[in-house]
Amino acid sequence: MLDYTINLLWDGDAGVWVATSQDVPGLVLESGSLDALIERVRFALPELLLLNGKVFKTLN
């Protein structure tokens, strides 16, 4: 199993949640709610892993 660390942090100045990862190049997303950000990450992650030539497992 492959593990990827996704960092979720609140940017108080911008008023948004931000997702980044050193394990997934290109992953920089933001959203006004944490739930919406998690959904955006779930949608974008497989495509980014594919574009970066990394193997991924479908997220349930």
CATH code for the domain of 30: 3.30.2390.10
Number of folded domains that form the chain: 1
In a domain, 43, yes or no: yes
pLDDT band at residue 60 using 50, 70 and 90 as cut-offs: low
CA pair distance 48, 5, nearest whole angstrom: 14
pLDDT at 20: 98
Q: What is the pLDDT of residue 7?
A: 98
pLDDT tens by residue, 15-51:
999 999 999 999 999 999 999 999 999 999 999 999 9
What is the C-alpha separation between 60 and 46, in angstroms, rounded? 12
The answer to whether residue 56 is domain-embedded is no
Q: Is residue 36 part of a domain?
A: yes
Q: Per DSSP, what are the bridge partners of residue 30?
A: 18
Q: Is residue 57 part of a domain?
A: no
Q: Which range of residues forms the domain containing residue 22?
A: 7-51
Question: Could you give the residue ranges of the DSSP H alpha helices within 1-60?
Answer: 34-51
pTM for the structure as a whole: 0.83
Is 60 inside a domain boundary? no
